[in-house]
Each structure stands twice: as C-alpha cells, then as structure tokens.
Amino acid sequence: MLRERAIELLLFGAAFVSVLTTVGIVYILVKESVVFFQHVPLADFFTDRQWTPLFDDAHFGIVVLLSGTLTSSAVALGVAIPLGTIIAIYLSEFAPFRLREAVKPVLEMLGGVPTIVYGYFALLFLTPLLQRFIPGLPGFNLLSAGIVMGIMIIPYVSSISEDAMRAVPMALREGSYAMGATRLQTALKVVVPAAFSGIASAYILGISRAVGETMILAVAAGMQPNLTFNPLEPAATITAFIVQVALGDLPHGSVGYQTIFAAGLTLMVLTLACNLAGHYLRKRFREAY
Amino acid sequence: MIRRQRYDVLFVAVGIAALAIGILTFLTLFVDMAVRGLPRLDLDFFTSFPSRRAANAGILSAWVGSTLVMVVTAIFAVPLGVASGVYLEEYAPKNWATDLIEINITNLAGVPSIVYGLLALGLFVYQFGLGQSILTAGLTLALLILPVVIVATREAIRSIPQTIREGSYAVGATRWQTVRHHILPYSSPGILTGVIIGMARAIGETAPIITIGALTFIAFLPPAPLKAEPPFVSFEWLWSPFTVMPIQMFNWTSRPEAAFQANAAAAGFVLVFMTLTMNALAIWLRYRLRRSIKW
C-alpha cells in the first residue's frame, strides 16, 4: 500500500511541474520587470512615443513595439479569419466525408511547418512578389509577414470553428431544411449563430497566436522600431525586439537585458487575456448542447 | 428556388478556393525551397561546418545539435508528460488542486514560445547556472511541448473503456498494476502520436533557443557521448555550446548574399522534410489506431 501511495505522489509531482512552470514564468518576468520599472517610470513606458532602449538617449515607449505587433496581427487576422471561417463552414456543412478526412491532415501540416521556414518564405518569396504589384514596397514590411502569418494561423481558426459547428445538433439543421432552407442558408443562419461562441473563441485564440508569433516577423518585417499602423512599412514587434536583443551580447543585469523581460511581460499579459477569453467562450459552447 | 440553390454551388466553389489557397501556398513554399535548395543538398552539406564561404558551408553542427537537444527534450518531456496525463485521468481527485493543474496546462499551451525562452534565460541560464548549453535548450523545449504530450496522453487514456479497469480491479489488481499492465499498454500508440507531434514542433522552434542566447556560428561538435576508456560514457556534451537547424537557417536567411540564401533554402528543405515526415507518421499512426481498435 505504501508503494501505491508513493507512486501516486510521484505522478502528482509530475503533474505539478506544469504549475511550477507557470509560477516560474510569472516569477522571472515580474522579478526582472520590477527592476526595469525602477529605472523607467510606468507612465513613460505607456506614453513615450520612442523606443530606443540601447541608445545613450534611451526611450522606452512600448507603444512603438505594440504598433508593429497590432498591425501585423491585423493583417494576419484579415487573412486567417475569412479563409479559416469559409474553410470551416465548407468542411463542416458541405464537403463530402472522404474529402474532409483527406484535407484535415493536410491543413494540420500547414500549422506544423516551422515558423522560421514561413519567415524565409515571406522574405524571399512573397515580398519580391508583392513588390511587383506595390512599387516602392521595402524589403522588410509588415504586410508580407502578416499575410504569411495569416496562412499559418488558418488551421487553428478552421479546426476550432469546425469543431464548434459540428457540435451543433443535427435536429437544428433538419428543422431548417424542413422549412425549405438551402444548405447555405442553414449554414449561415442556423449553424453559425448556434456555434458562435466556439467560432469567436477560435478567432481569439488566433489573435493570441498572431501576437506571440516571433520568427516570421523577426525575419520578414525587420527589427527597426517604428511607430506605424501602415502595413507597407517595416517595423519591429515586441517579439522581434526580444530576438534582436538576444542575438546581441547584452550583459546580465543591464537595463537592456531587463527590457526584454518587461517586453515579455507585456506580451504575456496580452496573450493571457486572449487565451482566458477564448477558453471561457469555448467552454460555453461545449456546455450549450 | 433555382436561384437560391445557385448560391449553394457558388459557396462550394468559394470553399474549395479557400482550401486551395492554403494548400497551394504550402506547395509553393515547398517547391520554391526545393528548387533553390536542392542543388546545395549533397553529402558535403551534411558533413561540413558553417563557413564564411557559402559554397563550403554545411549543417553538420546544426543537425548534431538538433539531435542532441531532441534527446534531452524527449528524456524530460515524455516521462513527465505521460505521468501527468496518467495522474490527471486515473488518480486525480475532483478538487481545487486538480482544477488548478488543468487550467494551468490549458494556459501553458497558449503561452508564446518566446516567453518560454525568457523563462529559460532567467531561470536555467542564470538562476540555476546551467549556461547556454544543450541541457538548457533541451529542458526549455521539454517544458514547451509538455502540454502537447499531456493532452495526447489524456485523450488516449480516456478512450479506454471503463470495463477494462473494472476487469482488472475485479481480479484484485491495485491501481498502479491496472495502470502498468492495462492503461499504459493500451494507450501507448495514442501517446506515441502525441510525442511525435510534440517533437516535430520542438525541432522547428527557433525563438526560445535564440532567447537563451545560443550562438549562431558554431564550427565544432560537442564532446562525444561515448569514450574509448572507462567509464565509456560521458555527459560533457550536455554543457556544450551548440546551434540547431532552425537557428542555422535563420542565420543564413538574414544574410543578403544569394549564395547563403540557397543554403537557407537547403536547410529549410531538410527541416520541413523532417517535420512533415514526423507529422505524417503521427497522422498515419492515428489513422491506423482508429481502424484497428474495436473495444
């Protein structure tokens, strides 16, 4: 019996590692950020319009990096939400069984490609292609990175949305068909509204992926801080900034070193808010039927 | 009537077009990389160190580094993940502690990978003094894929019918004996699927490894794990500086010279080939599983 108890304790210990990981993340981010905010007042962090942490005349306006993050995420969602939703509706309501079974693994693979490869694709394939249509487009830009990021996110959006739509009971569809509605009418006016909270959670989780994406932006959008909401310009995101600092040689404990933890904390807060909202919505649609 | 049905047909066309955009992008990416990279892919590419001259450069230190990091990742992530999954499905009481663990795992799955890099930089590299080593990288990626392994384990265990457990208890087996002799063997193909998908993700991760400060130019190999004299094995390699495939590709991609970009394409081709093979293997395993198991 003692052996059984010991094994249970051991297994509990393993499960507890995930709690420790979260504690570790919060501890490290907050610990280094606290030191950072002793140097840089919170008010400056949120209101300064320059981001030059490594210059002699240092400015720490996170708005600059946020603008890059938000602009690229907006482009990505502009691609992923329409395409992902259409694919989900098609696969859930129209596609024959065999096609669905064949296509889903392929879509999964789209999400499994390493992001550095997508970054390469954005920088060396899509940007030159876009430059033919948009003269004067710089070699680094948020547009190309955002589009590729959007394509990467399609599988996340489509698979969660599709799950939500397939959880809608058949009786609702049959009721609609009995009224003489077509498949498309049923899909758009019955299934999508019924699955709405699930679909919304797919969108929110998609936002969270876009905000946290790193390599595509570090490679294809440039690492120059730039306060802009124009996707045709190059700009650094929060994640790209962390990569840029990590690539250089910053002494442990310097303000520059602590800056990446403050940036990381901002990122963590953003994605955590998205994830919590997404999971809350997802739970709701699960309980509905 | 006819007009309304025409919209149905139209939507099917739109749906197929949307699917095609996704799949064609992937094909374009793959073909583009193959066209640019394949001329560079010969035996020398795998057996050469990175070099200032693009034509001589290879991925020897990168693939060796990736392999060693993956070994460390698997050693930590698989036992921890499977044990967590077994605990949550077979042991955990319904209380706040269990809820806490479950919420945690869901949230960890959504944490951006670069944040794991910051955790590793602050905790493993400086607090624990593990340095910018293979061990640090392996541990970081293990934490990163832990949620994937846990979720796969739980799903595999959940699909085992209750009657199996009841049969085992009826002949007097303890809880651990039931897990050891029934639950684990029956769920192992499902767990394996999850582990492969997790490893495929880990092998392509770049951001966390860059964040811990891995070097981008490594022209030596870590110390060999096997030795001629006793005790024959050595763990010095765990502490060695290293580089991995995605970092090597990042380094080449960010250079302006076309020759280095061809190297990047070649490295990318190898990387995509590896992750696709692993994903395909996982999908195939899952497919076989669904067909062969009839409880």
The residue type of B218 is I
CATH code assigned at B138:
1.10.3720.10
Backbone dihedral region for residue B19 (phi beyond 0: left; psi -120 to 50: alpha; all else: beta): alpha
Query: Do A83 and A157 fall into the same domain?
Result: yes
Residue B209 binned pLDDT confidence (cut-offs 50, 70, 90)? very high
| A188 CB-side CA count, 13 A | 8
Gyration radius of chain A's alpha carbons: 23
pLDDT tens string A124-152:
999 999 999 988 889 899 999 999 999 99
What is the number of domains present in chain B?
1
Query: Do A52 and A183 fall into the same domain?
Result: yes
- pLDDT in the model for residue A28: 93
Which of A10, A17, A91 is best to mutate for the B interface (most B CBs within 10 A)?
A17
Q: What angle (nearest 5°) sits at the alpha carbon of residue B118, between those of residues A211 and A12? A: 100
Is residue B223 pLDDT above 60, yes or no? yes
Q: What count of other Cβ atoms lies within 10 Å of the Cβ of residue B293?
A: 12
Domain with B189, as residue range(s), is 41-292
Is residue B79 pLDDT above 80, yes or no? yes
- pLDDT in the model for residue B116: 95
Read off the pLDDT of each residue in B186-204 and give the average, rounded to a whole number: 91
Q: What is the DSSP string of A213-270?
A: --HHHHHHS-S-------TTS----HHHHHHHHHHS---TTSHHHHHHHHHHHHHHHH
Nearest to B140 by CA among B96, B189, B201: B201
Q: What count of other Cβ atoms lies within 10 Å of the Cβ of residue A227?
A: 16
CA distance B58 to B51: 7
Higher pLDDT, B38 or B140: B140
Could you tell me if residue B24 is inside a domain? Answer: no
Which of A4, A9, A117 is best to mutate for the B interface (most B CBs within 10 A)?
A117
| Average pLDDT, rounded, for chain B | 87
- pLDDT in the model for residue B287: 79
Query: Do A150 and A278 fall into the same domain?
Result: yes
Query: Do A124 and A21 fall into the same domain?
Result: no
**Local mean pLDDT, 10-residue blocks, chain A (289 residues):** 89 92 94 89 83 81 91 95 95 90 84 90 92 89 94 92 90 92 91 90 91 92 86 90 85 82 92 86 64
pLDDT tens string B81-97:
999 999 999 998 888 88
- pLDDT in the model for residue A285: 63
Query: Do A18 and A105 fall into the same domain?
Result: no
Structure tokens at B17: 């077009």
Which of B7, B15, B29 minimises the CB distance to A87? B15
CA distance A194 to A184: 15
CA distance A240 to A73: 13
Domain with A19, as residue range(s), is 2-39
Is residue B294 pLDDT above 80, yes or no? no
- pLDDT in the model for residue B293: 64
Query: Do A142 and A177 fall into the same domain?
Result: yes
Instruction: Report yes or no: A150 at the B interface, CB cutoff 8 Å.
Output: no
- pLDDT in the model for residue A50: 83
Query: Do A111 and A238 fall into the same domain?
Result: yes
Which of B29, B87, B150 minimises the CB distance to A12? B87
Q: Do A117 and B100 touch (CB under 8 A)?
A: no
Which of A3, A8, A11, A183 is best to mutate for the B interface (most B CBs within 10 A)?
A11
| Average pLDDT, rounded, for chain A | 89
Could you tell me if residue B23 is inside a domain? Answer: no
Q: Do A117 and B121 touch (CB under 8 A)?
A: no
Query: Do A27 and A117 fall into the same domain?
Result: no
* Helix (H) or strand (E) run with residue B179 in it: none
- pLDDT in the model for residue A255: 79
pTM of the model: 0.90
Could you tell me if residue B32 is inside a domain? Answer: no
Gyration radius of chain B's alpha carbons: 23
